[in-house]
Amino acid sequence: MTENASKFDASALLSSRANAADEGAIIRLSQRTREMRTKGHDVVSLSLGEPDFDTPENIRDAAKQAMDKGLTHYAPVAGIPELREALAEKLRVENKLDYKPANIVLANGTKQAINNALLALIEPGDEAIIMAPYWVAYEASMKFAGGKCVFVTASVAENYKPPIERIAAAITPATKLIFLNSPSNPTGAVWTRKELEALAELVRKHPKLMVLSDEIYEYILFEGENVSFGSLPGMLERTITLNGFSKGFAMTGWRLGYAAAPLPVAVAMGRMQSIVSAGANSFVQHAAVAALKGHRDDVEMMRKAYQKRRDMVLAGLKAIPGVTIGPIPGTFYAFPDVSSFLGKKAGNHVIDTTDQLCDWLLEEQGVTVVPGTAFGSPASIRLSFAASEADIEKALERLKKGLLALS
Ligand SMILES: Cc1ncc(COP(=O)(O)O)c(C=O)c1O
């Protein structure tokens, strides 16, 4: 390097967008977990938001066959026709949503589908209501699109679902979207038909409002029913339905998600995606057709395994005095309120926040869980039970020992 080049500081060139994007607590804790394991520490992690199962064999086979047939070229931006048709059929039969293939836009992951929707709809100053606790990417993507997040918080005692009046009170003339995520990451909450009908009633009163309904955990349901928001009377035109293959089919690394939306929004989302990337991975899309049309034995096997682990986690958390946890009807997350432990001492230092609590649990007790601050809810921590039963048992023991050691 020349002398001039060595004085060059590329960080000074970074955009405010890049500087504002925080890597987040989950990535920080995962890195620290890896570092500690490399140094020989025994750490059990319940921090990951992804299935610990491999992708089912029939889906892997379909991807291999697609590659062998030469289906490795650019796909159309909105997705291959076979998959858009299969998804229209799935949404009609399983979700009572009457979308045409033209309403459906495939993306490189549901995350990208969310960003496509926000880039297509959000002007600077536009507001979106995000119900807290929320999946952290909603906030990040809204900021990235230049919009403003308005948070409406619900507590564990409310099963993390805010009453409709609280949502209504947050609506302003600038509100364009409401984020809805049922079943929910990080809480495992599922909205009932009655609750969704009340939300639909509210949406009817506001003619410029749309709902972004993220249904990615629909197949990981233990109790109750999944009701797609767009299936309620008059709501199809007011909804962007988001879903993907990562969770239910254990396909996180394949990067395939989709949005279904009123035609003008779907077309605009395709345009956004054509700027940022292009059509989603072609042979993955062919594998996704097989996932939708093939047997669902593995999906059901995984659901049952999560349900058994959910029961273990609920029992383990309820056995810790001071921890508050409600029902977990879906997903592979538990989000207990641990605020009764804040302000207590570990040795001679006080633990005031769930961030400090999670750092201490990792460093001193060898268990990784994620602070609720990452999800807009500082009173709680998130445990993922997409982990083996042995790991869950060990983690619960460590958590209990750690929390009860605080005084
Ligand atoms: C609520 C929710 N929506 C969307 C996603 C993103 O999924 P994908 O892997 O399809 O981008 C996640 C992943 O953690 C999630 O928890």
Instruction: Give the tokens for residue 352.
Output: 């005031």
With contact defined as beta carbons under 8 Å apart, do 206 and 74 qualify?
Answer: no
Say what the pLDDT of residue 48 is: 87
pLDDT at 231: 98
Q: Which domains does the chain have, with CATH numbers?
A: 13-53+298-405 (3.90.1150.10), 72-293 (3.40.640.10)
At 55 the pLDDT is 98
Q: Confirm or reject: Cβ of 133 under 6 Å from ligand 1.
A: no
pLDDT number for residue 3: 55
Predicted local distance difference test score (pLDDT) of residue 321 = 96
b (16+ CB within 10 A) / e for 142-171? bbbbebebbbbbbbbeebbbbeeeebbebb
Residue 49 CA: which ligand 1 atom is closest? Answer: 14
**Euclidean distance between CA atoms 86 and 88, whole angstroms:** 6
Mutation probe of ligand 1 site: the residue of 48, 110, 217, 243 with most atoms within 8 A of C-beta: 110
Residue with the smallest CA separation from ligand 1 atom 7 is 110
Give yes or no for residue 115 CB within 6 A of ligand 1. no
φ and ψ of 350, to 5 deg? -85, 140
Cα-to-centroid distance, 102 and ligand 1 (Å): 23
Those residues of the chain that have pLDDT short of 50 are none
pLDDT at 140: 92
Write down the H helix ranges in 14-170. Answer: 16-20, 24-38, 57-68, 81-95, 110-121, 136-144, 164-170
